[in-house]
Structure 1
Amino acid sequence: MDRILLGGSRLSLDRFRADPVLAALQWPDDVLQDFLFEHGDHGPFVVVDCGHLDLSAITWTLEAIPATDFHTMPTGESEAGLIEHFAQNPVYWASVKVPEVGRHWEDHGTWLRPPLLIDRRLLDPADSGLHVLEGRTRVGVLRGRLREQLRVTPHHQAWVGRP
């Protein structure tokens, strides 16, 4: 896994994706980019939150998740409290991204790009339900919009990793 993690910040996404180890995972491009390419060299995230994961044992599917399921969905120990930080000012956090992000929330009541969730049976210790792996800002904006009674669709697309 070191080769994968060290390569993310030095290679183009196309070269990164072409690595035989990554190609063997057969993960969707969105998942590969958001999880390993963009965050693979972020030590606390990789070591504390994901160091025990067997990447080859995860199958990813795009699923519609009820908005209410995100209300208490946890995230990794290295980012504890971050989702609620974003939820405190959802309009601001959507606006600091590219302009399309804020507009998408206003027009569609959901995120522009699905976050990554993982089945908590894959975590150590194992549990039931889903866990926010990547997309803490998106989930925080959703929670804040729900609290502030802003436009939110009843279901949201998310990539879900399951055993």
Structure 2
Amino acid sequence: MNLNDLGPLMVRRQDGGLDLDRFRTDPILAALQWPDDVLRDFLFEHGDHGPFVADYGHLDLSAITWTLETLPATDFHTMPTGESEAGLIEHFAQNPVYWASVKVPEVGRHWEDHGTWLRPPLLIDRRLWGPSDSGLQVVEGRTRVGVLCGRQREGLYVASHHRAWVGRP
């Protein structure tokens, strides 16, 4: 099963919130067993985003296991993102203080106090594309990874390790 088989993913409730019921009741989607944080982030960012589906729609979602992992800050410096959003991480890295400040105030304070993000990004193991691919790719969280890279480049406080949801085969 892949994203192209699912049709529209995001269902909004009348109050504007996300309806996660489809992911709890649809047998195919429930079998993915995505953690609530992964599911919420994924739907919020990409539920009806055509370019995202073009980048990742071919992946067999049932072959992915999601875990919350702690990774060295240096690992994020060379991580790509999907082809449709190439260059966005570097765009955000060019002005990390600004991009952290345009979010809710807690985001900027968290970067200053802890040197990391409030909400872990979603990464995916590139071996899901084939055995010749390696490393991790940013699926969701390009702004956060860009802020991290930019803060490090500018000599601002950055934690040595960061948490991220990682999808692996």
TM over 0.5, yes or no? Answer: yes
Match of 2:64 in 1: 58
Distance in 2 between the 1:99 and 1:126 partners? 42
Name the SS for the 1:106 alignment partner: helix
Of 136, 143, 147, the match for 2:142: 136
| 1:4-153 alignment, distance < 5 Å | 4-11=6-13, 12-20=18-26, 21-47=28-54, 49-123=55-129, 126-153=132-159
Q: Deviations over 1:87-137 (max 9, x none)?
A: 000010011111111110001000000000100101268511111111000
Name the SS for the 2:70 alignment partner: strand
Name the SS for the 1:133 alignment partner: strand
After superposition, the Cα gap between the structure-2 partners of 1:99 and 1:125, relative to the gap in structure 1 and judged at 3 Å, is farther
Cα offset, 1:10, TM superposition: 3.0
Cα offset, 1:24, TM superposition: 1.5
| Matched positions, count | 162
Q: Deviations over 1:25-72 (max 9, x none)?
A: 11111111222453121001111x101111111000111110001111
Give every structure 1 segment of 4 or more consecutive aligned residues whose post-TM-superposition deviation is greater than 6 Å.
none
Distance in 2 between the 1:162 and 1:63 partners? 11
After superposition, the Cα gap between the structure-2 partners of 1:4 and 1:36, relative to the gap in structure 1 and judged at 3 Å, is farther
Aligned-pair identity in percent equals 77
Decide whether the 8 Å contact of 1:66 with 1:156 is kept in 2.
yes
Unaligned runs of 5+ in 2: none
**AA paired with 1:46?**
V
**AA paired with 1:34?**
D
Decide whether the 8 Å contact of 1:64 with 1:158 is kept in 2.
yes
Match of 1:162 in 2: 168
CA RMSD of superposed structures (Å): 1.8
